[in-house]
Amino acid sequence: MKPVSKFFSDILKSVSSSGVQLLITIVTTPLMTRLYDPAAYSAFGVINALATTVVGVGLLSLPNAYPVEKESAHRTQMIQVMLLLLGVLVIASGIGAAIMVITGALEFSAVIWGLFPVLVLSFGVRQILVSIGIEKADFSSLSVGQLIEPAVSRGGSIGLGALFGGHPAFILASVAIGHLATSITVAKMVVKRNVREVRSLFSLGLRPWRVMKRYGDFIVYNTPSQQAQPLAMVGTQMLIIAFFSHDIAGQYILATSILILPSSVVALASAPVIYRDFIERERTAPMQLARYLHRATALYLLAGALILSPVFFFGEALFGFIFGDIWAPAGRAASILSIAYVGSFALMGVQSIFRVIKRMKTQFYLEVFTCLAAFIATAVALEQTDFDTAILYLAIIWGIRNVMLLCAGIIVTNAYANLTPKAS
């Protein structure tokens, strides 16, 4: 198959499976919002976001570095270290959950906190296997996994909620099972096609410090760059709980979860393919990178604007009709925030360009500075205004931040392309 044909085939596989995933989510969310109240969504949103962030920080961006590595032995050592780090994270998250139960922080029950280390384990395994699938360009396996995860997690949440009531623990447990089901599916396909590398995983000596040294830039710069925004988002959820209530936090979490759907389903599904293509173009035709990035960014912005336009114009009415009258405030918040999320949609698809052209320090400074500034401004807005006004300020703050990062990516890529002929 020709490279261009294979590229579009990989995109089609990822986006097609993501379209089915989006359909599952659209169909099941109205059922879930009638089984689980805003307070339950608040508990689920905070714990799930914490687990995701712990894994993102704790694995030290090694899943992002894995697809770039060319040497098989080095990739095997990376997997060994990622598994070791994940074991430490699970133990640490269990201890942290016990402390939170004892102190009564965030007023979540022991059952909810007990699921926290389970989520860390399930999400961590999933991340490691996805990175292997990306390196192998095994997008068929990844696509199958994307279909299984929402079917299992959503089906479990609805079934348990209908049978036993809308406790947030049922959503968290179902999400963890969904992660594990995806991991098993991807692992069976990847292991079957790469038996030799799996065997070397157990025969090659563990050298964690060598791996840390080799991928120091990814660890030091890429980890904060990738996790600054998730940390800010988790902090925002906690601030809303502190300044308002669990119910209002639940409204905010539903609003952002619906807005993030296009990003998580379409942008994130195509991002591994784009990342892989960035890597190939940088190796074979670096002068094409800038033009390719311009086109990809424009297409992502256009797609994001088209997908989110109904929420912008009819958010409150749509949420009230689809999810129930109790969720109308979430629709109002989603309508205001939708403009900022168009930028997030594009950024999620193309931000890997910083890693490919080795400008991780630039991304590090941009991400940390803009996220810190945005979070401080959000905290001030939440403390001093009502919720609707604070959401407006939040949309403006994060919208400006997203535009800055998109422009920075284009600028540094143009500069890289212009310097390439001189380097050769």
Q: pLDDT truncated to tens, each residue of the chain (424 aa)?
A: 555 555 556 555 555 666 677 788 888 999 999 999 999 999 999 999 999 999 999 998 898 888 877 787 788 888 889 999 999 999 999 999 999 999 987 788 999 999 999 999 999 999 998 888 887 776 677 777 778 888 999 999 999 999 999 999 999 999 999 999 888 888 877 666 665 666 666 666 667 778 888 888 778 887 888 889 899 999 999 999 999 999 999 999 999 999 988 776 677 667 877 888 888 888 888 888 888 899 889 999 999 999 999 999 999 999 999 999 999 999 999 999 999 999 999 998 888 888 888 888 888 899 899 999 999 999 999 988 999 999 999 999 999 999 999 999 999 998 887 776 544 4
Last residue of a domain, one of 185, 214, 243: 214
- Considering the domain architecture, whether residues 117 and 262 belong to the same structural domain is answered as no
- Considering the domain architecture, whether residues 178 and 69 belong to the same structural domain is answered as yes
Last residue of a domain, one of 181, 214, 247: 214
Q: How many structural domains comprise the chain?
A: 2
With beta carbons less than 8 A apart as the criterion, state whether 331 and 315 touch: yes
For 204, the domain range is: 1-214
What pLDDT is attached to residue 196? 60
- Considering the domain architecture, whether residues 242 and 198 belong to the same structural domain is answered as no
What pLDDT is attached to residue 390? 92
Identify how many contiguous H helices and E strands the chain contains and give both numbers. 19, 0
Query: Residue 314: inside a domain, yes or no?
Result: yes
What pLDDT is attached to residue 195? 54
Query: Residue 113: inside a domain, yes or no?
Result: yes
Query: How open is the CA angle 130-79-94, to the nearest 5 degrees?
Result: 85
- Considering the domain architecture, whether residues 206 and 246 belong to the same structural domain is answered as no
Query: Residue 221: inside a domain, yes or no?
Result: no
- Considering the domain architecture, whether residues 245 and 167 belong to the same structural domain is answered as no
* Chain position carrying tokens 């059952």: 111
Last residue of a domain, one of 163, 183, 214: 214
What pLDDT is attached to residue 32? 95
What pLDDT is attached to residue 247? 94
Query: Residue 173: inside a domain, yes or no?
Result: yes
- Considering the domain architecture, whether residues 330 and 419 belong to the same structural domain is answered as yes
- Considering the domain architecture, whether residues 136 and 285 belong to the same structural domain is answered as no
Query: Residue 312: inside a domain, yes or no?
Result: yes
Query: Residue 198: inside a domain, yes or no?
Result: yes
Query: How open is the CA angle 37-39-43, to the nearest 5 degrees?
Result: 120
- Considering the domain architecture, whether residues 175 and 308 belong to the same structural domain is answered as no
- Considering the domain architecture, whether residues 177 and 116 belong to the same structural domain is answered as yes
- Considering the domain architecture, whether residues 158 and 265 belong to the same structural domain is answered as no
Q: How far is CA 274 from CA 137, 301, 399, in A?
A: 11, 15, 23
What pLDDT is attached to residue 193? 61
DSSP for 253-270, written as a single string: HHHHHHHHHHIIIIIHHH
- Considering the domain architecture, whether residues 206 and 275 belong to the same structural domain is answered as no
Q: Report the length, in residues, of the chain.
A: 424
What pLDDT is attached to residue 155? 94
What pLDDT is attached to residue 217? 75
- Considering the domain architecture, whether residues 50 and 134 belong to the same structural domain is answered as yes
Q: How far is CA 321 from CA 33, 128, 301, 325, in A?
A: 12, 39, 28, 7
